[in-house]
A and B are shown apart, each in its own frame.
Chain A
Amino acid sequence: MAAPPTPRTPTRTGRPVLEAHGIRKAFPGVLALDGVDLRLFPGEVHALMGENGAGKSTLIKVLTGVHPPDAGTVSVDGAPQRFAEPLEAQHAGISTVYQEVNLCPNLSVAENILIGREPRRLGLVHWSALHRRAARLITELELDLDVRLPLSAHSLAVQQLVAIVRAVDVRAKVLVLDEPTSSLDRDEVAQLFALVRRLRDRGVAILFVTHFLDQVFDLCDRVTVLRNGRLEGEHRIDELTPVTLVHRMVGGELRTLDELAETSHTGTAAPVPADTPFLSARGLARAGAVQPYDLDIHRGEVIGLAGLLGSGRTEAARLLFGADHADGGELRIDGERAVLRSPRAAIARKIAFCSENRKAEGLIGELTVRENIVMALQAARGWTKPLSRTRQDEIAARWTEVLDIRPADPEAQVRNLSGGNQQKVLLARWLLTDPRLLILDEPTRGIDIGAKTEIQKLVTRLAAEGTAVLFISAELEEVLRLSHRVGVLRDHRLVATLPNDTSLTPDRILGAIATGATS
């Protein structure tokens, strides 16, 4: 589709179709949103940006009626609304399309678009009318689909388009797109954007949540940036550059980072060792997750992976652990070609992986601290060679002390521990296996400052003892402080691997994150 004629962002003097004002929402222990405003005008695509924990998803949930706000107002067409459930928001004209396609794969495309509102005759579904109406909606939006085929016969991208068609047919005035492009490839994204632009031109207000900077500049008219649950500001996209946008998102941390940069920087830079790397990836890739990338990790080296949330950091790391299968490229460990079919295979080669998703992918919540700590070692030994209870108690007591896990009760259920202590349990689990490569995915997210410092110190010490570490973090400060080299990911692509010498500044990394350029 040709570049649309742009009545882009005229001065917004009209009445916003959706206006949120002073939204405040607290969860036990967390103030997720604090006085956030948002305005959406008809016929605009409005990006909602922010790093992890900025409050994007909470704000969307408030707007779509999943959570009621603690304070503040949501108005549609100037009339204040109070949604008790998503259906009410839908009736008020706010429809949402989620990252996961929330449709029924077993039903036809037509049914998925119209179920619940099927045309009926004598109380029975009027199939021909249903197919006609669905086909008309599809053609109106310039798509080409056989509406009688089951949804499951279509690609994920098409399913996402169908979800949008359904959402729009609910007479949506506001369409919320929550990371709809995360798992789509380039052509599919283009298809989706074409549809979004057509909807915009018809006067629908679109709130677009994404982690892809390019997409924001490609598609959106204005952007609202959140930071730590507060409103950073509302901007016109044409007044921003990628770099300034990233600065606004990451914001506050840059200041501390500037101070730290001087003190911490000099020690970490080291020449890349000349020996065979412990692990070497060449063109390693997985469709929909990460583009082919090259990476060498040497003994005693800390490689930082920087990039925005959703840039493919985790996906890249998972391939090195056999958690996902690479569908291209090759991996060498100690110079030998290795195919990691499962995490087990990676563990056998002394690779360890602490998932960013501690609850779902790391801990076995019902079990005790002791059991969670010995789990990886025990799994490697097999069930017939148990660690004796005495041995387990020793291990648990030792690591509880070394990492200062609190409460210092190895028999406590691990799900009752705080985030930082849970992270330490996971660390203990993997350190116990004496790994040669330790992959840490956001090990310090959501944990208190004390635990954070301890974990950072631990990483430094492990590297000094010869362990290779792949350290993934959204916080540039950490990455810069700890890493010898920094890999920068952007839109599922490893765009640069930069040595952490004195010339490497946060701005250079941010520049790489924002534009893909390394200088």
Chain B
Amino acid sequence: MTPPDDTGSGGRPARTPGVRRLAEHRLFWPAAVLAALLLGNVALTHDFFAVRVQNGHLYGSLIDILQFGAPLVLVSLGMTLVIATRGIDLSVGSTVAIAGALACEHIATAKDPGSPPTVLSAVVVAVGVAAAIGLLNGFLVARLGVQPIVATLVLMVAGRGVAQLITDGQIISVSSGAYKMIGGGYWLTLPFAVLLAAALVAVTSLVTRRTALGMLIESVGGNPVASRLVGIRAAGLLVTVYVVSAVCAAVAGLMISSNVSSADGNNAGLWIELDAILAVVIGGTALTGGRFSLGGTVLGALVIQTLSTTIYTLGVPPETTLVFKALVVIVVCLVQSPAFRARLSRRRRPAAPGPAPATGDVAARRQEVHP
């Protein structure tokens, strides 16, 4: 058949305003929460938004949030892809610890800890081992059909032991200028960690959205049966996302250990898997898989980091952040739960169908990466 070739002169058809509005809606809630948190901080400390230049570096609360939030952004990034396939990766916290331990061990035992080749090989070792971890997780999930939560539990348990094995139970301190750069350095006035995280987010967005990876991942997560019948090789995709998740966690681990110039197998990346899951959920990617939003995840991670910062500013013991996180989890999950929404609408029956909450309409969730 010979279909007409008259898609118009502009190439891409213009999207309707309705779709556009929904697209904005998709990120509206995480963005609104973040904005509210930031504004709340301004009320507490008036110079919250102030950014100073000192020694050619930018300083300020906002910069701090970005810098300290960078590892979480990375871990959440990988977690987003895993969750989009209906999976979960509990082993990222352990991977963070292992990567930091490997790198620090490598640098500490090297002849020339400060030299870039040493640091580079340390990074390669850490990322390589992380990729192997991801392969193992992916193999269990994709090939053996083990539930993701169970498959990744193995390394969640064993991983910290492995990290301590590498560091011999010590906290390994390193003094390497080049290594310090990853998590604590500055480049072009900005913290290097922020730039690194931004670059990885950009690369991931590009790779998932400019190739077909993102669409195929969403397809496998959205309807595994249909995906098989349409000829998608799900196994390869699943392995890929677990490897990406582990590699992201490894880079986050390098950042964390670099920032404090030491590796702590016990505490590095503790709870970060839970924060990452939380960030993904706040960002609007449903735990049931399918459509994912990297932009939403970044916002979600920043929300969590800002929350931590706010707690500090309030002078409340920082550990109580957990209570707030718990409340956020509960609220977000309730809002996402169809059963809860059904109950709510039943209670106020005459009311018109309410405005879609954070997960309401998935219509154009991916628009934000396609400006």
Q: Which residues of A contact B (CB under 8 A)?
A: 321, 323, 342-344, 347, 353, 355, 360-367, 371, 375-376, 378-387, 389-390, 393-394, 397-399, 401-402, 409-413, 429, 431, 461, 465
Contact = CB atoms under 8 A, between A and B. Distances in A.
A109 to B, nearest CB: 28
A367 B212 contact: no
B54 interface: no
Given A366-B290, A376-B231, A378-B215, A397 B7 contact: yes
B370 interface: yes
Contact of B11 (A385, A390, A398, A413): A390
Given A397-B7, A399-B3, A401-B3, A386 B212 contact: yes
Given A379-B233, A412-B363, 17 more contacts: A343-B231, A360-B223, A360-B226, A362-B229, A366-B290, A367-B215, A371-B219, A375-B219, A375-B230, A378-B215, A384-B212, A386-B211, A393-B11, A393-B13, A398-B4, A429-B230, A461-B1
A164 B211 CA distance: 53
Contact of A364 (B12, B16, B218): B218
B291 interface: yes
A385 B215 CA distance: 12
A390 B215 CA distance: 15
A110 to B, nearest CB: 30
B226 A413 contact: no
A379 B13 contact: no
B357 to A, nearest CB: 17
6 contacts: A367-B218, A380-B231, A383-B213, A401-B4, A411-B19, A461-B1
Contact of B228 (A343, A381, A399): A343
A115 to B, nearest CB: 26
Nearest to B23: A411
B230 A379 contact: yes
Nearest to B367: A411
Contacts of B237: 383
Interface string B1-36: 101110100011101100100000000000000000
Given A389-B12, A397-B7, A398-B7, A366 B222 contact: yes
Contacts of A385: 212
A364 B219 contact: yes
B229 A383 contact: no
Nearest to A430: B230
A411 B11 CA distance: 15
Q: Is the interface of B mostly helix, strand, loop or mixed?
A: loop
A412 B219 CA distance: 16
B227 interface: yes
B228 A393 contact: no
Contact of A378 (B12, B216, B222, B370): B216
A224 B218 CA distance: 46
B364 interface: yes
Interface string B351-371: 000000000001110000010
A374 to B, nearest CB: 8
Given A389-B370, A390-B12, A343 B229 contact: yes
Enumerate the 10 nearest inter-chain pairs by beta-carbon distance, A residue then B residue, closest first: A347-B231, A398-B3, A386-B212, A379-B231, A397-B7, A383-B212, A344-B231, A364-B222, A383-B213, A379-B232
A361 B225 contact: yes
A364 B212 contact: no
Contacts of B213: 383
Contacts of B364: 411
A399 B362 CA distance: 24
Contacts, number: 114
B341 interface: no
Interface in B283-316: 290-291
A266 B292 CA distance: 53
A412 to B, nearest CB: 8
Contacts of A461: 1
B210 interface: yes
Contact of A323 (B229, B233, B363, B370): B229
Q: Is the interface of A mostly helix, strand, loop or mixed?
A: helix
A361 B363 contact: no
A364 B226 contact: yes
Contact of A393 (B7, B215, B218, B230): B7
Nearest to B220: A364
A390 B15 CA distance: 14
A465 B1 CA distance: 8
Contacts of A365: 222-223
Contacts of B212: 378, 381-387
Contacts of A353: 229
Nearest to B228: A343
A252 B308 CA distance: 69
Contacts of B3: 398-399, 401-402
Contacts of A398: 3-5, 7
B18 to A, nearest CB: 9
A379 B216 contact: yes
B219 A342 contact: no
Contacts of A347: 231
A429 B227 CA distance: 13
Contact of A363 (B12, B218, B223, B291): B223
A361 B7 contact: no
Contacts of B7: 393-394, 397-398
Interface string B299-339: 00000000000000000000000000000000000000000
Given A364-B227, A378-B215, A411-B364, A393 B1 contact: no
B317 to A, nearest CB: 42
A439 to B, nearest CB: 11
A387 B233 CA distance: 17
Contacts of B362: 366, 413
Contacts of B12: 389-390, 393
A436 to B, nearest CB: 15
Contacts of B16: 409, 411
A361 B5 CA distance: 31
A347 B229 CA distance: 9
Nearest to A402: B3
Contacts of B218: 364, 366-367, 371
B1 A402 contact: yes
B291 A366 contact: yes
Contacts of A401: 3-4
Interface in B225-254: 225-233, 237
A410 B19 CA distance: 11
Interface in B55-79: none
B226 to A, nearest CB: 5
Contacts of A361: 225-226, 229
A367 B216 contact: no
For B215, B219, B291, the residue with the greatest tally of chain A CB atoms inside 10 Å of its CB is B215
Nearest to A355: B229
B231 A363 contact: no
Contacts of A399: 3
B190 to A, nearest CB: 31
A380 B227 CA distance: 12
A504 B233 CA distance: 43
A378 B213 CA distance: 10
A465 B13 CA distance: 31
A344 B233 contact: yes
Nearest to A462: B1
For B16, B210, B226, the residue with the greatest tally of chain A CB atoms inside 10 Å of its CB is B226
Nearest to B11: A390
Contacts of A411: 15-16, 19, 364
A233 B153 CA distance: 59
